[in-house]
């Protein structure tokens, strides 16, 4: 009935996806009644865990006091939450809410094009910005077809992507400054923006010298720099990658956590760029943006409740400490069995790669042992730890020390099970 049995391609995995029925805190139960410690956390959106009391209470209050789920008008809540987000991500700037991360990246790119008067978009190989034609290239290309490492070529990620868009697209190699500088300098004249995940896959860091050079060069060349912080916002630090690097992009995109488990997205950035959204602006420079559910009170208030809870002194540090504990537990198990590994992550999110080589970009991920990793993740699911195979671990404030202990034991068991089945 539904192709692949899923409502989004990413939810599929071999041999089949698992249907879930119920969740609470750090735990999730499937339709057969099996219980798992959950590290998917809805792809990172749930930083307080499933059904956090503050979020549920807020939703009840909104429903009980506002008398509606959506007004279709501006609300005071948007202003209050918008101020919080701006203070953290772009002080003195402007904000516009959307319904998803994909809508935020789409809007950010449109704004950059309107502002610069240029067409071409540069993105990084292996970086994801949502399923929109303009940005749906070179996210997961076949390496053999994607050109040399230092001069990757744009490859469409979906059969329908209009190939003519590819001539307006430039691909950059993450963490290779020499090549990036060459490409940007060569193409500067036509470039409307550079958009990036400051941590590839949410976990592979942009090296600091690279980030500094990229910010400087894009500023010198007057190319707006867009941080897509849909994964990293409120996860690598409270102030996202913007805080981690102390680098201010021209525009940032937020999503996931800022909805507290309900659909949301936001674009924050320089006021003169977002001014193109002002409906009173001159025709010709105005950017059209609309959405029936933009800024709806349920998403805004559950997002604000989530962010407020995360900003309580000590809360983020606890999330970070627990994440680091699980990271070192996982690498200790792999090291103990002489399985080469790289464990990468910051704040409340990490992943591990089965390779002895440092992982700095998409091609390094592709050359790690993804097959072994997939089997290991399937063993973990069998042993009661849920994550999308090969995907990152997202922790929440609901993950207790006990959960971490159980997870480490089950990880060790999964490694043993895998080695035993390989030997038999």
Ligand X SMILES: Cc1ncc(COP(=O)(O)O)c(C=O)c1O
User: Which residue's Cβ lies closest to ligand X?
Assistant: 101
Decide whether 201 or 403 has the Cβ nearer to ligand X: 201
Contact 341, 329 (CB under 8 A): no
Name the segment binding ligand X (CB under 6 A); options: 137-145, 227-235, 267-275, 412-420: 227-235
Name the segment binding ligand X (CB under 6 A); options: 99-107, 141-149, 160-168, 181-189: 99-107
Provide the pairing of β-strand 151-152 with 199-200: unpaired
Name the segment binding ligand X (CB under 6 A); options: 176-184, 226-234, 367-375, 409-417: 226-234
The 3-state DSSP class for residue 1 equals coil
Examine residue 302 and tell whether it contacts ligand X (CB under 6 A): no
User: At closest approach, how far in Å is the CB of 16 from ligand X?
Assistant: 22
Decide whether 152 or 202 has the Cβ nearer to ligand X: 202
Structure tokens at 252: 């940032």
Site string for ligand X, 43-82 (x = CB under 6 A): x---------------------------------------
- 331 by Cβ neighbours in 10 Å (0-12 / 13-18 / 19+) ranks as middle
Contact 322, 399 (CB under 8 A): yes
User: At closest approach, how far in Å is the CB of 303 from ligand X?
Assistant: 13
Residue 414's nearest CA partner among 381, 390, 388, 387 is: 381
Residues 6+ apart with CB under 8 A from 5: 12, 16, 17
User: At closest approach, how far in Å is the CB of 382 from ligand X?
Assistant: 26
Decide whether 362 or 411 has the Cβ nearer to ligand X: 362
Pick the binder of ligand X from 13, 39, 128, 234 (CB under 6 A).
128
Residues 6+ apart with CB under 8 A from 76: none
**Residue 146 burial (CB count, 10 A):** 21
Examine residue 130 and tell whether it contacts ligand X (CB under 6 A): yes
CA distance 375 to 390: 9
Examine residue 255 and tell whether it contacts ligand X (CB under 6 A): yes
The 3-state DSSP class for residue 269 equals strand
User: At closest approach, how far in Å is the CB of 362 from ligand X?
Assistant: 14
Pick the binder of ligand X from 26, 58, 94, 105 (CB under 6 A).
105
Examine residue 168 and tell whether it contacts ligand X (CB under 6 A): no
Contact 264, 97 (CB under 8 A): yes
Examine residue 107 and tell whether it contacts ligand X (CB under 6 A): no
Name the segment binding ligand X (CB under 6 A); options: 124-132, 162-170, 305-313, 375-383: 124-132
DSSP secondary structure letter of residue 277:
G
Residues 6+ apart with CB under 8 A from 397: 47, 48, 49, 52, 309, 310, 315, 318, 319
Examine residue 102 and tell whether it contacts ligand X (CB under 6 A): yes
Name the segment binding ligand X (CB under 6 A); options: 95-103, 279-287, 306-314, 392-400: 95-103
The CA–CA distances, whole Å, from 316 to 119, 247, 349, 404 equal: 40, 21, 12, 17
Name the segment binding ligand X (CB under 6 A); options: 101-109, 323-331, 343-351, 398-406: 101-109
User: At closest approach, how far in Å is the CB of 230 from ligand X?
Assistant: 4
Name the segment binding ligand X (CB under 6 A); options: 100-108, 271-279, 318-326, 346-354: 100-108
Contact 176, 148 (CB under 8 A): no
- The maximal CA–CA distance of the chain, rounded, in angstroms, is 72
Examine residue 303 and tell whether it contacts ligand X (CB under 6 A): no
CA distance 363 to 147: 11
By rule CB under 6 A, what count of residues binds ligand X?
14
Residues that bind ligand X (CB under 6 A): 43, 100-102, 105, 128-130, 197, 228, 230-231, 255, 265
């Amino acid at each position: 009935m539904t192709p692949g049995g899923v409502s989004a391609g990413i939810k599929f995995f071999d041999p089949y996806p698992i249907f879930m029925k119920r969740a609470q805190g750090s735990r999730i139960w499937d339709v057969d009644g099996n219980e798992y410690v959950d590290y998917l956390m809805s792809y990172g959106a749930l930083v307080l865990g499933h059904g956090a009391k503050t979020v549920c209470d807020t939703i009840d209050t909104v429903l009980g006091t506002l008398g509606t789920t959506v007004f279709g008008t501006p609300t005071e809540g948007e202003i209050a939450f918008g101020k919080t987000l701006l203070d953290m991500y772009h002080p003195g700037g402007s904000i516009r809410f959307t319904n998803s991360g994909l809508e935020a990246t789409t809007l950010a790119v449109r704004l950059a094009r309107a502002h610069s008067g240029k067409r071409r978009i540069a993105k990084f190989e292996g970086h994801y910005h949502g399923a929109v034609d303009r940005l749906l290239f070179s996210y997961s290309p076949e390496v053999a077809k994607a050109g040399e490492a230092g001069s990757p070529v744009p490859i469409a990620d979906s059969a329908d992507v209009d190939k003519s868009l590819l001539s307006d697209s430039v691909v950059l190699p993450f963490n290779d400054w020499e090549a990036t500088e060459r490409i940007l300098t060569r193409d500067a004249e036509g470039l409307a923006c550079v958009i990036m995940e400051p941590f590839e896959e949410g976990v592979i860091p942009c090296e600091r010298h690279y980030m500094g050079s990229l910010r400087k060069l894009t500023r010198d060349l007057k190319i707006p720099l867009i941080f897509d912080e849909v994964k990293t916002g409120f996860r690598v630090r409270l102030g996202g990658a913007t805080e981690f690097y102390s680098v201010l992009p021209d525009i940032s995109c937020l999503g996931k956590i800022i909805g507290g488990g309900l659909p949301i997205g936001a674009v924050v950035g320089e006021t003169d760029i977002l001014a193109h959204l002002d409906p009173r602006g001159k025709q010709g420079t105005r950017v059209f943006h609309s959405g029936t559910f933009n800024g709806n009170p349920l998403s805004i208030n559950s997002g604000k409740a989530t962010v407020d809870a995360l900003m309580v002194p000590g809360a983020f540090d606890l999330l970070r400490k627990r994440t680091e504990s699980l990271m070192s537990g996982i690498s200790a198990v792999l090291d103990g069995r002489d399985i080469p590994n790289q464990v990468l992550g910051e704040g409340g999110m990490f992943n591990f790669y089965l390779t002895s080589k440092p992982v700095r970009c998409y091609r390094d991920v592709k050359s790690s042992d993804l097959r072994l990793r997939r089997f290991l993740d399937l063993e973990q699911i069998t042993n009661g730890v849920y994550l999308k195979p090969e995907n990152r671990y997202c922790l929440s404030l609901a993950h207790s020390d006990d959960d971490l202990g159980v997870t480490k034991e089950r990880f060790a068991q999964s490694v043993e099970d895998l080695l035993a089945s390989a030997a038999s």
